[in-house]
Amino acid sequence: MPMDVLNSLLDNLDESLIILDKEGRILFFNEVALKLSKTVLTQSFQVGKHLIDSTNLETSLIIRDIIHEIQLNKVPEKHFAELKNQNGTIASLEFNFVPVINEEGVETHIHLLIRDITAQKIFERKLITQASNITNLIEKANAIIIGVDTRGYVTDWNEHCMKITGFVKDEVYAQKFVNVLMKDLKPEKFDLILESGLKQESVINHELPIRTQNNNLITLLLSCTPRLSASGEVIGLTLVGQDVTELAEYRRSL
């Protein structure tokens, strides 16, 4: 392949490509790498200079150690770094060092691919924040919220559950719902909710008697929603409801 065609191909890669000698000196870099070095790194890449000369002190020390490890073990190494852009924002970079070994098993040079994963990291942080907010909402909700897996084992138990039943999360977590809350009651009533929910059939305002931690009998009014995996498979249920013991007792008294 002609050199100009090869260079054009490398310059149109989505990732920064730098070819280093086995000591870490720069032999080649594509246009994406040059642009990255001008906007994120402390100095632009230059052929013949060591890679560590283009990064801050912390990153350069890590890169030096990585290159040393590659010389010893001749296996790929990966490193993640957060560096400040020239505009003052933080860029998240993924460094992939791949040693090139000849037929005699001798390392000849190193291919370095650098990916800008800033957008991915921002998205991940937003997901973590959203998940944290949802978790906090569930924990603090003024409603009973219980998660169970497909076998009826408790996976979620919010603060209102503890307030109503007296059972703290550690007492019910990873325990079978009927074994903890329906010891002397008919488990078939819960099994009916579980089976219907797993079939994605509607379960709304279903009354379920349970025993509290101090052995009182109370009645919960529950509705359930299936929890689905990424592939759409039902992996459990979320039960949401309220304590309607007083209402149930009033109806019985009538």
Query: What is residue 12's predicted lDDT score, i.e. its pLDDT?
Result: 58
Sign of CA dihedral 174, 180, 181, 185: positive
CB 218 within 8 A of CB 245: yes
Domain 3-119 sits in CATH 3.30.450.20: yes
Nearest to 194 by CA among 238, 243, 229, 156: 238
Strands 16-21 and 77-84, sheet pairing: unpaired
Q: Give CATH superfamily name and number for 141-253.
A: PAS domain (3.30.450.20)
- Which residue ranges make up each domain of the chain? 3-119, 141-253
SS3 39: helix
Q: What is the pLDDT along the chain (254 residues), one digit of tens a residue?
A: 444 544 555 555 678 889 999 999 999 988 888 888 888 877 788 899 998 888 887 888 898 999 999 988 999 999 998 888 777 788 888 999 999 998 888 889 999 999 888 888 888 888 878 877 777 777 788 899 999 999 999 999 999 999 999 999 999 999 999 999 998 898 999 999 999 988 888 789 999 999 999 999 999 999 999 998 888 889 999 999 999 988 767 667 66
The residue behind tokens 């998940």 is 131
Decide whether 3-119 matches 141-253 in CATH topology. Answer: yes
CB 17 within 8 A of CB 112: yes
| Helix H or strand E segment including 223 | strand 217-228
Query: What is residue 7's predicted lDDT score, i.e. its pLDDT?
Result: 54
